Structure 1
Amino acid sequence: MPHGFLMRHPSTIIFVLLLALFTVAVTVLSEGLGIGVISTSLVKTLGKTLCLALAAIAMDLVWGYAGILSLGHFAFFGLGGYMIGMWLMYERTRDIVVEALADAPIPPTPEEISDAIGNQIFGVVGSSDFPLVWAFADSLFVQLLLVVLVPGLLALAFGWLAFRSRVAGVYLSILTQAMTLALALYLFQNDSGLRGNNGLSGLQNLPGLDHVPQSLVSLWFLWGSALALGMGYLLAAWVVSGKFGSVLRGIRDNEARVRFLGYSVETYKLTIFTVTACMAGIAGALYYPQAGIINPAEIAPIASIYLAVWVAIGGRGRIYGAVIGAAFVSLVSSWFTGGQAPDIPLGFYTVKWVDWWLVVLGLSFVLVTLFAPKGIGGLFDLLSHRFSPDRHGADLGPDQGSLREK
């Protein structure tokens, strides 16, 4: 980042400091290293929320700044989770198999160990052979690379085909949704190589660290999630503050004019689409070890729609708005769907929030879109008195209101 970037954008410094303060506070109050006020399950929930906030930043960059309403970014999120989940499940299963065969009269051969691992992992789908996609499952370094490469390459291929054909607007949204649905349906099949509907489980158990309590492991992932969110926020703020961000906003507001000015619109779209897919993949790789399981249902199109709802409620076109929207909606959702919200008896009917939460979320999205298009983030404009200046006098530019006399 250029020198002086943070000095020119104090809001970025404020966000990073607040994120660091939040992380320290949770650590001090946790069961793992603190006084035990915050339970381990809540620490995991907060860590997952930070990952969702990173995915929301990726969505805001591609939708709020570039104007591309992608309904497939949660597919990239899920692919990142699958890539790291393969290594976690393989190594965890390998530890169990080696321990079980340790007392055998004849030491097992590497082939016997591999066959036993395959039978343990793929026995639920009637197989014991490792599919080709598991070729590097025993290498943490390669799987970490795939966390970025697989979502990135998929986004690059899809974006190249879509953007060079100049598909835009609602048609592009439908295409991204179709891509997500096709991927989910493929992963539901048992011969996909990723255990079909069973998905990957036991991801919360780190290989070789059985002696480490979950209260401490949850803190490790919280720290990792906070670091990833902070770096993602800095990257996003830097991108949108320069010329690249100005071109993205220009594409969002008037794509034809930006193309007329000589900019390669397709290149800018493809770049931001691919970069945000990689960001979503990293967020997913940190999320699912905290969730403990991933299956194809996580990649269903409805998940990407939720991502768009979070950004809209938080404030599209504001990086901090995306973080606020994801954190607020996901935490409130956990409260309502977790049975913590009290039911409301009406005499003739009892409102159970577990059943009505999605209706409330949908209505909130509609109301925010109609009456508060700036979302929750717009409240900060009011609090900081960041109103647009009143302009009077004659128009000085070709567009009415673009520039006026003092």
Structure 2
Amino acid sequence: MSRSFIARNPSILWFLASLAVFTLVITVLSEGFGIGLIPTAFVKTLGKTLCLCLVAVAMDLIWGYTGILSLGHMAFFAVGGYMTGMWLMYARTEEIVVQALASGPIPATPEEVAQGVTTQIFGVVGGSDLPAIWSFAHSAWLQLPLVLIVPGLLALVFGWLAFRARVNGVYLSILTQAMTLALALYLFQNDSGLRGNNGLSGLQNLPGLGHVSQATTSILFFLASAMLLALGYVLAAFVISGKFGSALRGIRDDEQRLRFLGYPVEGYKLFIFTLTAMIAAIAGAFYYPQAGIINPAELAPIASIYLAVWVAIGGRGRLYGAVIGAAFVSLLSSWFTGGMAPSIPLGFYTIHWVDWWTVLLGLSFVAVTLFAPKGIGGLFDRLAHIATPARHGAALGPNDGALQEKEAQE
């Protein structure tokens, strides 16, 4: 009798229980719903960190389990944020315009309200007409589905072209980075329809909830982010289990052998590339309302490189490792770059961690790669006594996790 999905993946229960306890403790200690020991700013940082953990899970699916090093997934993350930000900015601006016009001698017409919203949003870039891409921004029911549709279509088209041409390895990584750079350069233009370098701002103000304090709003987003991370983690664990997950590992370990066995390798890769892009977009859709602003700088290729570093430090090929790596590096980055880390005077030079954080991060990545290739997650494996299978004979694939000669004969 086959065991249930949860029985085959006990780490899911441990992860969900840990996340639930963490969420409860933060909520009780917060200013919004609790006793006020944790400031609202830090609650927002934790909420954003949970969103980064979700996109790290997506990165681990595509890189750690399928072997595709994508350096463009933070582009999908940002696109999801833009889709949400368009609705938030339009709806909030509409509220402000309606209140301003209400003091007039006669009621404002819908056309006057729409023109006022357009002027408020695009006057800063010299625009007077609402761009076509904002056609659905007035309605949450029309705009929010684009969080999945737009990044999903972008990933589907890009992936179909790349995988159909059988672009692999470093060449695919360069292509994904080029896609990210091209998208960022386009959004920097004022005529892109997304306010160019100014980006979208005021996203922390939820329409219709102007009377709700930021302390309460931050907890609501924090709880939503925790729920999304839990759902995303379970979904990822389900994807990598069973025969489908074995096929993904087969692509990672020896793609040619899997293709010779008759598996539609390109189809598997296209599916996982599109799925992880949509997961990243959902994470971005909840991240940027907590950040309050989004601009094209968020699509810089370096952001996707950071994402790969998080997963590597946490331990790729382990979903919990991706979460640990993203949370650890993100919170440490906030501490170092937020001015909380004390400077170190050396007499001839003073180390300011705001300037040296990226160097420290790079050295950490090199150290983990050389001395702890299993990352932080490998330490948890040791504590849980999860042993690596004994490998004997010649390798039948390029990866350490590939089937070995003796195992194939058993």
TM range (shorter): over 0.9
Question: Is the 1:391–1:404 contact (alpha carbons within 8 Å) kept by the matching residues of 2?
Answer: no
Q: Does 1:25 align with 2:30?
A: no
| Correspondence for 1:234 | 234
Note the C-alpha offset of 1:313: 0.3
Q: 1:204 to 1:391 in 2, by over 3 A?
A: closer
1:265 to 2:265 alignment: yes
Percent identity reads 72
Say which SS state the counterpart of residue 209 (structure 1) adopts: coil
1:240-251 equivalences under 5 Å are 240-251=240-251
- Per the alignment, residue 69 of structure 1 pairs with 69
2:261 counterpart letter in structure 1: L
Name the Cα RMSD after superposition.
Answer: 1.6
**2:108 partner amino acid:** P
Q: Would the aligned equivalents of 2:314 and 2:377 in 1 still touch at CA under 8 Å?
A: yes
Structure 2 CA distance for aligned equivalents of residues 215 and 105 of structure 1: 37
For the residues of structure 2 that align with 1:342 and 1:401, how far apart are their CA atoms? 54
Q: What is the match of residue 400 of structure 1?
A: 405
- Aligned residue number for residue 299 of structure 2: 299
In structure 1, the residue corresponding to 2:141 is in which secondary structure? helix
- Cα distance between partner residues in 2 of 1:162 and 1:170: 12
Equivalent position SS for 1:254: helix
Q: CA deviation at 1:385?
A: 2.0
Query: What is the CA–CA distance in structure 1 between the aligned matches of 2:388 and 2:216, rounded to whole Å?
Result: 48
| AA aligned opposite 1:258 | L
The one-letter code matched in structure 1 to 2:93 is T
Q: Which residue of 2 aligns with 1:215?
A: 215
Say if 1:313 and 1:375, in contact at 8 Å, map to a contact too.
yes
In 2, Cα distance between the equivalents of 1:338 and 1:301? 22
5 Å-filtered alignment, 1:162-181, equals 162-181=162-181
- Indicate the residue corresponding to 2:373 in structure 1: 373
| 1:371 Cα deviation from its structure 2 partner | 1.2
CA distance in 2, matches of 1:391, 1:300: 41
Structure 1 unaligned runs (5+)? none
Distance 1:373 1:101, change over 3 A: same
Deviation at 1:381, TM superposition (A): 1.6
Which whole-Å deviations, capped at 9, do the CAs of 1:118-160 have from their partners, x for residues lacking one?
0000001001210000000011112221001111000000000
1:400, distance to aligned residue in structure 2 (A): 3.5
How many aligned positions are there?
A: 402
> Structure 2: which 5+ runs fail to align?
397-402
Residue 217 of structure 2 aligns with an amino acid whose one-letter code is V
Q: Give me the whole-angstrom Cα distance separating, in 2, the residues matched to 1:358 and 1:309.
A: 11
Residue aligned with 1:36, SS: coil
Match of 1:78 in 2: 78
SS of equivalent residue, structure 2 residue 231: helix
Q: Hey, what's the Cα distance between the residues in 1 that align with 2:144 and 2:21?
A: 28
* 1:154 has 2:154 as partner: yes
Which residue does 1:333 correspond to in 2? 333
Other-structure match for 2:400: none
Q: 1:98 to 1:152 in 2, by over 3 A?
A: same
Q: Is the contact between residue 118 and residue 129 of structure 1 (CA under 8 Å) also seen in structure 2? A: yes
1:401 Cα deviation after fit = 4.2
Query: Aligned partner of 2:361: which letter?
Result: L
TM-score, with normalisation over the residues of structure 1?
Answer: 0.97
| TM-score, normalised relative to structure 2 | 0.96
The CA deviation at 1:389 is 5.2
The answer on 1:312 being equivalent to 2:312 is yes
Conserved? CA contact 2:74–2:307, under 8 Å? yes
> Deviation per CA, 1:292-311, whole angstroms, max 9, x where unpaired?
00000001100000000000
Q: Deviations over 1:20-55 (max 9, x none)?
A: 111111000000110101000000000000000000
